[in-house]
Amino acid sequence: MILFPDMYLNSIDDLNIKELKQRGFKAIIIDIDNTIIEWNVRVPDERTRRIINEALSEGMRVCLLSNGTKDRVTEFAKALNVPYVYNAGKPRKSPYKKALKLLDVKPEEVAAIGDQIFTDVLGGNRLGLYTILVRPISTNETGWTRFMRRFEKLVLDRYNKNALRNF
Ligand SMILES: [Mg+2]
């Protein structure tokens, strides 16, 4: 199912970088807003730095991939000193291809992490990446994202049923 993530985490804090590394992944492509920081926070916080630094110190390559604006994404990524793609228009394929190029890795070597099914999971799955869905950091959302959460819930209910069946 193209809308199902390969892994679902209750929180970004449960992301196990060492495990990903052991499983052969060489890089992570990670969403910004509500995945690694609250959507309205412009600079990386303690948690962001801890996760990104852990990945880098484990030898993983990191690229930020966001549908956010040039200013927002550039400022955030520069503070972390990692490559980035802005205005991505996920789930389009081209921004992922751009990220893979920046990281110099093959699709099967990458775990893509994000908080939205119809952008992060769908986009990653289209490229054959290993997709990790995390529960959004904040429920303080507006507009389109808020609207799409209702449809996400339908997908998640099915995903959870499937997971129970396969348990
Ligand atoms: Mg997001």
Q: DSSP letter at 61?
A: E
Q: How far is the CA of 114 from the centre of ligand 1 (A)?
A: 6
Q: DSSP letter at 37?
A: B
Q: What pLDDT is stored for residue 145 in this prediction?
A: 87
User: Can the peptide bond before residue 91 be classed as cis, meaning omega within 30 degrees of 0?
Assistant: yes
Structural domain boundaries, residue 67: 7-165
Residues of the chain scoring pLDDT < 50: none
Q: Measured in whole angstroms, how far is the alpha carbon of residue 161 from the centre of its chain?
A: 23
Q: How far is the CA of 73 from the centre of ligand 1 (A)?
A: 12
Which position has the token pair 């992490």?
113
The residues near 67 (Cβ < 8 Å, ≥ 6 apart) are: 33, 87, 88, 89, 90, 119
Query: For the segment 41-82, what is each residue's pLDDT rounded down to a tens digit?
Result: 999 999 999 999 999 999 999 999 999 999 999 999 999 999
Please indicate, yes or no, if residue 2 is contained in any of the structural domains: no
CATH classification at residue 146? 3.40.50.1000
Q: How far is the CA of 3 from the centre of ligand 1 (A)?
A: 16
Please indicate, yes or no, if residue 1 is contained in any of the structural domains: no
The total number of structural domains in the chain stands at: 1
Q: How far is the CA of 133 from the centre of ligand 1 (A)?
A: 10
Q: What pLDDT is stored for residue 132 in this prediction?
A: 98
Q: What pLDDT is stored for residue 167 in this prediction?
A: 66
Q: DSSP letter at 29?
A: E
Sign of CA dihedral 14, 106, 70, 131: negative
Q: How far is the CA of 121 from the centre of ligand 1 (A)?
A: 11
Q: How far is the CA of 59 from the centre of ligand 1 (A)?
A: 25
CA nearest neighbour of 60 among 29, 28, 36, 12 = 28
For the chain, report the end-to-end CA distance as a whole number of angstroms. Answer: 18
Please indicate, yes or no, if residue 96 is contained in any of the structural domains: yes
